Amino acid sequence: MSSPAVPLRPVRRWIQATQASHRERGATLSNVYVGVLFVAITAAVFERQLMAVFWPSDPSLSGPAGVAVAVICGALLLLALRQLGPITMSRPAAYFLLTAPVSRRRLLLPSLRLAAAGAALAGAATAFAILGHAGNRDDLTDSLIVAGALTGLLIFLAAALAQTARHGAGLLDRLASLALAIGLAELVAEASGWVPPALTIRPPAVSLLPLALVALLGFLHLVRSLARTRNDRILESAKTAGTLFDAAFGMEPSWVADMVERRYWANRRLRSTRLPARLPILTGQDLLLAGRRLPRLLWLAGGTTLPLLLTPAPRWLLAVVLLIATMVAARTSSATIRTDAGNPVMSRLLGLTSREALYQRLWVPAGLAAIWATTALALLQLTGHLPAGPWWALGPAIAPAAAAAAARHARTGFVRNDLLPLDTPMGTVSTGPLVNSLAGPDILLLALPALIALAQDHPLSWTTVVLQAAIAVFGCRAYVNATTAEDRTELTPR
């Protein structure tokens, strides 16, 4: 039994009219005005920074590095589109309209058009920025920007076809990750002294017509096959869009992190294994879970080379980024702390004291931080970017501070939107997200000796290393003892 499809346009019009009737008069115009004003003010305030990103006064990127940056941006765009869908819809639309007898193609077309336009714009902006950094500006033509936009469109098509196709999506994601790694490797190789062969970016001699034709045919094929997109994939992307909207509206980035984490584990096939018997029980659990995050560990290992990219930047920036990256390495295994702090049911079931639990939970983050920072510092020294001294030893020395910072961040919980806002000349600033984002990094003050040593560019003495280790260990202990107790199980700080 089949019934004729209900026209979608009147349904959408009714939804829009009903939504508009609940808004204040002129609210839409006001939103547009605020949006345009925000963009104009941001562009005016950050003019110098935007110029540095898109049109620097001294373009210094080599040809191969320009290609590498293009590959990195393309891979990131593809991965972002794959995470988003890219064909998606709002959660209410997924609930009410996906199951309604309306044309599936018409239902999905608006998101397809929007995502395609966004990808093309991103491609054009990226091409403009790369050519601004690497190109011979006399040779620049508009066709290169158009080529960037077409490439963005093709990347969108690849992501959208992977969403509608039955197989191959996983392979595409892995290829994008590989391209990202190769692009980063090229940049790191140049930063560590490798001289690439000369390559000048010139306008393509061939016409862009074939590229445009491929994009057009791909787009038409996508529109034709749009109605066959699997429901589960649309629902998944609707959930993603909803979570992103919630996270932006509620200024709560942890929702996105939770979604990514849930999705990662949902796609894994696990086999139960015995927890390491010789370690404290929670340390063993964290070690087991860290071992199961092989892709993240691989990225972490590759990430030890990334500080090399910052060697031309001011030393203080390199030092700050190194400390924050060490904390990020420690956060690889802080999900269990977040779980216990968010809902103490498992903590109660385990019956451990909060102090005992947190000490056990800190070992793996501290180990990861120590390994990461030691490797990163050793690479910086081996490539001649650090003066003499036992820089590698700063890795284990700052690890307790990084682990405590990771734990504090994991225990912070949701952003508090009830805190008093700050009135600034630029408008009102909500302090909740600010306080939340500083919870964790603030403990990195315990790594001040390392920060000063890295920023100064003087030879490092063992005295500084010992001083750093002592401050980090005592600071970490003080943090744990001050925020936990022997007579309670809950990990939520009080």
Partner 1 sequence: MDHPAVEVSGLHVSYGSTPVLVDVGLVVPAGAGVCVTGENGIGKSTLLRCVSSLQQPDAGEIRVFGGEPGDTPEFWRAVVTTVEPPTWYPGLTAREHAELVCRAHGHDLSAIDEALERFGLAGHADAIPPSLSSGQKQRLTLVLALIRPSSLLILDEPEQRLDPDGKAAVAAMLAEYLADGGSLLMASHDDAFAAASGAAVTTMDSL
Q: Which is nearer to partner 1, 354 or 436 (CB)?
A: 354
- Chain centroid offset of residue 206 CA: 36
Type and span of the H or E element at 423: strand 422-424
Q: Which is nearer to partner 1, 423 or 486 (CB)?
A: 486
Q: Which is nearer to partner 1, 284 or 395 (CB)?
A: 284
Please give the residue ranges that form the binding site for partner 1 (CB under 8 A): 261-262, 265-266, 268-275, 281, 285, 288-289, 292-293, 335-336, 339, 342-343, 345-346, 348-353, 486-490
Q: Which amino acid would we find at residue 179?
A: A
Given a contact cutoff of 8 angstroms between Cβ atoms, the answer to whether 380 and 337 are in contact is no
Q: What are phi and psi of 6, to 5 degrees?
A: -80, 135
Residue 171 Cβ vs partner 1, minimum distance, rounded to whole Å? 24
CA distance 7 to 103: 7
CA nearest 211: which of 148, 281, 158, 128?
148
Q: Which is nearer to partner 1, 90 or 339 (CB)?
A: 339
What DSSP letter does each residue of 121-182 carry, written as one string? HHHHHHHHHHHHHHS-GGG--HHHHHHHHHHHHHHHHHHHHHHHSSS-HHHHHHHHHHHHHH
CA distance 294 to 304: 16
CA distance 306 to 224: 43
Residue 349 Cβ vs partner 1, minimum distance, rounded to whole Å? 6
| DSSP letter, residue 57 | S
Q: Which is nearer to partner 1, 242 or 284 (CB)?
A: 284
What DSSP letter does each residue of 241-288 carry, written as one string? HHHHHHHHHTT-THHHHHHHHHHHHHT------PPPSSS-HHHHHHHH
Q: Which is nearer to partner 1, 20 or 260 (CB)?
A: 260
Could you tell me the end-to-end alpha-carbon distance of the chain, in angstroms, rounded to an integer? 62
Q: Which is nearer to partner 1, 246 or 261 (CB)?
A: 261
Q: Which is nearer to partner 1, 104 or 263 (CB)?
A: 263
CA distance 246 to 414: 13
- Chain centroid offset of residue 298 CA: 16
Q: Which is nearer to partner 1, 151 or 336 (CB)?
A: 336
CA distance 331 to 329: 5
What DSSP letter does each residue of 209-238 carry, written as one string? HHHHHHHHHHHHHHHHHGGG--HHHHHHHH
Q: Which residues contact 34 (CB under 8 A, 6 or more apart)?
A: none
CA distance 188 to 196: 12
Given a contact cutoff of 8 angstroms between Cβ atoms, the answer to whether 479 and 337 are in contact is no
Q: Which is nearer to partner 1, 339 or 437 (CB)?
A: 339
Residue 334 Cβ vs partner 1, minimum distance, rounded to whole Å? 11
CA distance 459 to 457: 7
Residue 107 Cβ vs partner 1, minimum distance, rounded to whole Å? 29
CA distance 355 to 352: 8
Residue 264 Cβ vs partner 1, minimum distance, rounded to whole Å? 8
Q: Which is nearer to partner 1, 133 or 361 (CB)?
A: 361
Q: Which is nearer to partner 1, 137 or 274 (CB)?
A: 274
Q: Which is nearer to partner 1, 243 or 285 (CB)?
A: 285
- Chain centroid offset of residue 183 CA: 17
